[in-house]
């Protein structure tokens, strides 16, 4: 399909004209970043994604992963692809030049990464985890650990993963039973089993680094008693030389709905032989370190949802141009009327614009959140703190809300193709299967919603939410000045509903009523997501309306915003009304067998 995986013009408009990411150039954090570097990285990513990554997507899904005698065999096409991925430096593209990255702010680097994700999400999780493990060690490791592990993970010489979930401790991480016992030589023996470990075993790297959450004997129950340890597949000396096999083994893989090319493993520690590890960070601070990776991973999951939604939209868009079916509306009774492209039919156009507005809104959400991360690293004092807190507030939306509406967009793309969309002749059924996992891993949608309502809304007395509402007010005023008064009025309604509902939930929680806010957490997250995307669409439309150039692109930005905002206002009003009603039917229901 000729439309490709990503709308480059929209990417450039967002980062340059809307977010003004260039203000980060030349700062202490990003001294060498430039638009020239961004263009070069984006060009390279597009070329690599379309020429080398995309051709592996369907074949790796059909081949899947095999488990034989404790070993995992990945799709054969991945070996060549992983070599090319490493050589291209794509694992650490979001890092500084010191670590082989582009040195670009994340507000820029997420976009070339998005094109790679959309080309094969099942493969992307492998280098993504290498990066995540390296980032975690860079954050919490001692000097020796950083020197040994970070380069090998960022360069992809060693694989990485994350070992958190257990059969009895999924969302309830604090119930983990894996234990750690200190040895006379200062190392630790780890004993336990972890499940749902993405790329926990594979045949692409010589070694695998396992960051493992475990409880030191005698430490308290709950998440506050967990410590993080580094365990290697093979024993490793201080120079990185691999020795004998460590006491770590894969005991099986999961057979999944989607991401068939990505192995999801059960990993046993200390079963047949001691699993020797070393502590990462401080004792009983494991969750603090793990959340460093998880917050990054949650935004990466949102990026996965965006990438697949955009790939699906662009495929459906091109199909709607090429597919001839039916007559024009004013020729329906004329049996001899020429057949027209389905993109001319009103309902198809509505579906395409639904998808497009979701994609462009999610791109703005993730880009804005990434910009706040960049500002938290490049600014100082209160400005840095405010940026970090705003990023924290929006992270549940970047993961939970984005994964849900991204899935809906992929589902709509299948409807555009009709019965053909249900066939394996087209990639949309795979996109749908692959997108489901975004709603589940790194914390389900419900977990994200509870995090938003239970933790993020009340941080610093609600200052971050007030900051967000203030930014919405500024955009509303600017939109009115740009002649977008009707759209501004609609967003003003949503802004008011968001503020009122947030205050209502906060008040209920402060009164000791936790059931009410938790019942409303997921509906509130959707309300907030719709309101925030409406604000971002209004912002983009305002910039487009003020542009001295008024071509199709600028006009389409306003039209897209109008479509999204008009639809979202009704959803926000309805959800605000339902939450305010405070109905507790779900608590009162007597489910059979409970």
Check residue 2 and give its pLDDT: 54
In the set 404, 429, 442, 554, the catalytic residue is 442
Distance CA 343, CA 354 (A): 13
Low-confidence winner among 226-230, 268-272, 297-301, 495-499 (lowest mean pLDDT)? 297-301
Residue 151 reports pLDDT greater than 70:
yes
Average pLDDT for residues 184-213, to the nearest whole number? 97
Rounded to 5 degrees, φ, ψ at 240 are 90, 10
Work out the pLDDT band at 86, boundaries 50, 70, 90.
very high
Check residue 1 and give its pLDDT: 43
Residue 341 DSSP one-character state: B
Q: Which residue shows structure tokens 């949309």?
A: 428
Q: Which two tokens stand for residue 120?
A: 């094969």
pLDDT (tens digit per residue) in 16-47: 999 999 999 999 999 999 999 999 999 999 99
Residues 276 and 246: beta-carbon distance below 8 Å: yes
Check residue 252 and give its pLDDT: 98
pLDDT (tens digit per residue) in 316-337: 999 999 999 999 999 988 988 9
Q: Which two tokens stand for residue 180?
A: 């750690």
Residues 279 and 227: beta-carbon distance below 8 Å: yes
Residue 180 reports pLDDT greater than 90:
yes
Query: Mapping DSSP to helix (H, G, I), strand (E, B) and coil, where does residue 176 land?
Result: coil
Residues 435 and 338: beta-carbon distance below 8 Å: no
> Model's pTM, two decimal places?
0.96
Average pLDDT for residues 268-290, to the nearest whole number? 95
pLDDT (tens digit per residue) in 439-472: 999 899 999 999 999 999 988 889 999 999 999 9
User: Higher model confidence: residue 97 or residue 320?
Assistant: 320
Average pLDDT for residues 64-86, to the nearest whole number? 97
Query: Which DSSP string do the residues of 423-458 spell out, in sequence order?
Result: STTSTHHHHHHHHHGGGTTTS-HHHHHHHIIIIITT
Q: Which two tokens stand for residue 231?
A: 């365990």
Indicate if 442 belongs to the active site.
yes
Q: Which long-range contacts (CB under 8 A, 24 or more apart) does 184-190 make?
A: 187/276, 187/277, 187/278, 188/214, 188/229, 188/276, 188/277, 188/278, 188/279, 189/270, 189/274, 189/275, 189/276, 189/277, 190/214, 190/229, 190/231, 190/269, 190/270, 190/275, 190/276, 190/277
Residue 506 reports pLDDT greater than 90:
no
Check residue 202 and give its pLDDT: 98
Average pLDDT for residues 119-144, to the nearest whole number? 95
Q: Which two tokens stand for residue 468?
A: 């967000």
Calculate the average pLDDT of the chain.
95
Low-confidence winner among 74-88, 161-175, 575-589 (lowest mean pLDDT)? 161-175
Residue 339 DSSP one-character state: P
Query: Which DSSP string do the residues of 376-396 spell out, in sequence order?
Result: HHHS-HHHHHHHHHHHHHHHH
Rounded to 5 degrees, φ, ψ at 23 are -65, -15
pLDDT (tens digit per residue) in 223-268: 999 999 999 999 999 999 999 999 999 999 999 999 999 999 999 9
Residue 170 reports pLDDT greater than 50:
yes
Residues 241 and 257: beta-carbon distance below 8 Å: no
Distance CA 211, CA 163 (A): 6
User: Higher model confidence: residue 512 or residue 473?
Assistant: 473
pLDDT (tens digit per residue) in 346-396: 999 999 999 999 999 999 999 999 999 999 999 999 999 999 999 999 999
Q: What share of the chain in percent tops pLDDT 90?
A: 90
Q: Which two tokens stand for residue 372?
A: 């706040």
Would you report the helix, strand and coil content of the chain in percent, each value rounded to 5? 60, 10, 25
């Amino acid at each position: 399909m000729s439309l490709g995986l990503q709308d480059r013009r929209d990417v450039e408009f967002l980062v340059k004209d809307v977010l003004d990411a260039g203000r980060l150039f030349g700062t202490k954090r990003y001294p060498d970043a430039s638009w020239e570097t961004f263009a070069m990285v984006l060009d390279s990513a597009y070329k690599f994604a379309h020429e080398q990554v995309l051709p592996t997507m369907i074949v790796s899904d059909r081949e899947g992963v095999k488990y034989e005698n404790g070993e995992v065999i990945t799709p054969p096409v991945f070996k060549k692809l992983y070599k090319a991925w490493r050589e291209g430096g794509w694992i650490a593209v979001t890092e500084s030049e010191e670590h082989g990255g582009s040195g670009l702010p994340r507000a820029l680097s997420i976009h070339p990464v998005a094109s790679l994700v959309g080309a094969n999400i099942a493969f992307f999780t492998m280098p993504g985890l290498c990066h995540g493990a390296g980032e975690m060690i860079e954050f919490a490791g001692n000097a020796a650990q950083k020197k040994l592990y970070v380069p090998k993970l960022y360069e992809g010489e060693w694989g990485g993963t994350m070992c958190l979930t257990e059969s009895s401790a999924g969302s309830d991480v604090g119930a983990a039973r894996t234990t750690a016992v200190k040895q006379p030589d200062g190392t630790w023996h780890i004993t336990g089993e972890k499940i749902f470990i993405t790329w926990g075993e594979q045949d692409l790297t010589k070694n695998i680094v396992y960051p493992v959450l475990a409880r030191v004997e005698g430490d308290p129950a709950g998440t506050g008693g967990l410590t993080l340890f580094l365990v290697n597949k093979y024993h490793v000396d201080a120079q990185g030389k691999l020795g004998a096999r460590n006491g770590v083994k894969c005991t099986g893989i999961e057979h999944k709905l989607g991401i068939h090319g990505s192995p999801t493993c059960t990993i046993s520690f200390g079963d047949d032989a001691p699993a020797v590890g070393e502590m990462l960070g401080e004792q009983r601070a494991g969750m603090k370190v793990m959340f460093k990776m998880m917050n990054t991973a949650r935004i990466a999951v949102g990026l996965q949802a965006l990438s697949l939604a955009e790939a699906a939209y662009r495929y459906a868009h091109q199909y709607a141009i090429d597919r001839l079916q039916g007559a024009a509306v004013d020729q329906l009774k004329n049996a001899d009327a020429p057949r027209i492209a389905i993109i001319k039919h009103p309902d198809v156009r509505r579906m395409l614009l639904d998808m497009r507005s979701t994609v462009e809104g999610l791109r703005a959400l993730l880009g804005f959140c990434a910009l706040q991360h960049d500002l938290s690293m490049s600014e100082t004092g209160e400005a840095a703190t405010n940026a970090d807190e705003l990023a924290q507030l929006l992270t549940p939306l970047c993961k939970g809300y984005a994964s849900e509406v991204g899935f809906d967009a992929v589902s709509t793309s299948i409807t555009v193709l009709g019965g053909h969309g249900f066939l394996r002749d087209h990639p949309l059924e795979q996109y749908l299967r692959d997108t489901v996992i975004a709603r589940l891993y790194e914390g389900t949608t419900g977990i994200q919603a509870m995090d938003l309502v239970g933790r993020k809304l009340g941080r610093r007395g609600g200052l971050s939410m007030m900051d967000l509402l203030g930014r919405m007010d500024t955009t509303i005023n600017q939109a009115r000045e740009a002649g977008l008064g009707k759209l501004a009025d609609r967003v003003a309604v949503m802004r008011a509903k968001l503020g009122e509902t947030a205050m209502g939930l906060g008040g209920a929680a402060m009164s000791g009523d936790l059931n009410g806010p938790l019942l409303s957490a997921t509906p509130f997250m959707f309300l907030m997501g719709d309101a925030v995307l409406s604000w971002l669409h209004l912002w983009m439309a305002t910039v487009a309306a003020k542009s001295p150039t008024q071509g199709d692109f600028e006009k389409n930005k306003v039209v897209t915003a109008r479509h999204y905002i008009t639809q979202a206002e009704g959803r926000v009003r309805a959800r605000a009304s339902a939450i305010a009603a405070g109905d507790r039917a779900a608590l009162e229901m007597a489910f059979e067998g409970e």
